[in-house]
């Protein structure tokens, strides 16, 4: 392979990596937008068929107790389950902020991202912080783009916070 061919191949690989990271950041943005607008079908389409949500509650007697929903039917339950803080009055009054301090590692057709997220909710004249968490996102490349295979969210202070935040280092 000539020097020009090897440089071109390296540039093509860099462009692919940048495109993948951009698509992943877009995916996480859409996650928040679809959640806020209660666009459940669009939200669920961001996940693989066997996608999972693994989250600490943040508001119970044990704020680090983990709830898990796996598969499209269970994920639809997640959207309507009161323990997930969704329900009446959520549409148009919430802000899901994903991808803050985001790190992304792409390995072929899989990727891991880690970062912070916050959910704000309009409660009358006040804006309340509903949750602050660390997140580990596992994604796979599928027909039509990247999809979420697993979101692992932990409330701030969770014993496994460091593990979640360094997940991209181990990917």
The per-residue pLDDT for range 108-142, each reduced to its tens digit, is 999 999 999 999 988 889 999 988 999 999 999 99
pLDDT of residue 97 exceeding 70: yes
> What CA–CA distances, in Å, run from 36 to 79, 97, 159, 161?
11, 10, 28, 25
pLDDT digits (tens, 9 = 90+) for 34-79: 988 888 899 999 999 999 999 987 656 787 888 899 999 999 888 8
Is the separation of the CB atoms in 50 and 149 below 8 Å?
Answer: yes
Is the separation of the CB atoms in 90 and 121 below 8 Å?
Answer: yes
pLDDT of residue 83 exceeding 80: no
Is the separation of the CB atoms in 126 and 3 below 8 Å?
Answer: no
Predicted local confidence at residue 38, as pLDDT? 84
pTM given for the model: 0.89
* Residues 6 or more apart whose Cβ sits within 8 Å of residue 93: 121, 122, 123
Query: Rounded to whole angstroms, how far apart are CA atoms 145 and 55?
Result: 25
pLDDT of residue 82 exceeding 80: no
């Amino acid at each position: 392979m000539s020097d020009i061919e090897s440089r071109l191949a390296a540039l093509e690989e860099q462009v692919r990596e940048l495109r993948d990271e951009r698509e992943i950041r877009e995916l996480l943005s859409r996650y928040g937008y679809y959640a806020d607008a209660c666009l459940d079908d669009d939200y669920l389409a961001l996940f693989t068929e066997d996608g999972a949500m693994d989250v600490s509650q943040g508001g119970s007697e044990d704020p680090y107790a983990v709830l898990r929903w796996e598969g499209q039917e269970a994920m639809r339950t997640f959207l309507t389950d009161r323990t997930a803080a969704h329900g009446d009055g959520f549409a148009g009054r919430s802000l899901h902020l994903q991808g803050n301090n985001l790190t992304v590692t792409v390995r072929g057709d899989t990727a891991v991202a880690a970062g912070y997220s916050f959910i704000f909710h309009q409660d009358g004249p006040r804006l309340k912080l509903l949750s602050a968490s660390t997140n580990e996102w596992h994604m796979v490349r599928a027909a039509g783009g990247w999809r979420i295979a697993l979101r692992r969210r932990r409330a701030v202070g969770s014993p496994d916070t460091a593990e979640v935040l360094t997940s991209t280092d181990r990917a």
